[in-house]
Amino acid sequence: MIFFENVSKLYRSAKDSNPDSQDSSHHSAAVNNLSLKLEPGKTHVFIGPSGCGKSTLLRLIAGLEAPTSGTVKVKGQIPTHIPPKVYARNIGYVIQEGGLFPHLSVYENLSIGPFGTQLTRTEQSERINARIEELLQLVHLEKLFLKRFPHQLSGGQRQRVALARALMHDPGYLLLDEPLGALDPVVRSDLQQSLKEIFQSLKKTVVLVTHDLMEAATLGNTLYLMNKGSVVQSGTFKDIHLNPHDDFVRTFITAQKPSQEFLDLWN
Instruction: Return the HEC string of 118-160.
Output: CCCHHHHHHHHHHHHHHHHHHCCCCHHHHHCCHHHCCHHHHHH
d(CA 224, CA 44): 8
* pLDDT confidence of residue 187: 81
State what percent of residues in the chain have pLDDT above 70: 89
* 52/227 Cα distance (integer angstroms): 5
Would you give the DSSP letter of residue 28? E
Q: Which of 88-102, 124-138, 218-232 has the lowest mean pLDDT?
A: 88-102
Does residue 18 surpass a pLDDT of 60?
Answer: no
C-alpha dihedral over 156, 161, 162, 165, to 10 degrees? 170
CA separation, residue 101 to residues 60, 129, 132, 168 (Å): 24, 19, 17, 15
pLDDT of residue 137: 93
Question: Which residues 6+ apart lie within 8 Å of 253 measured at CB?
Answer: 213, 240, 241, 244
Residue 25 pLDDT more than 60? Answer: no
Q: Whose CA is closest to 52, among 213, 232, 187?
A: 232
**173-177 vs 205-210, strand pairing mode:** parallel
Task: State the burial class of residue 90 (Cβ atoms within 10 Å of its Cβ: 0-12, 13-18, 19+).
Answer: middle
Q: What is the pTM of this model?
A: 0.88
Average pLDDT, the chain: 87
| Other beta carbons within 10 Å of 211 | 17
pLDDT of residue 117: 64
pLDDT bin (cut points 50, 70, 90) of residue 22 is: low
pLDDT in tens, 157-215: 999 999 999 999 899 999 999 888 777 778 888 888 889 999 989 889 999 999 888 88
Pick from 80-94, 114-128, 184-198, 202-216: least confident: 114-128
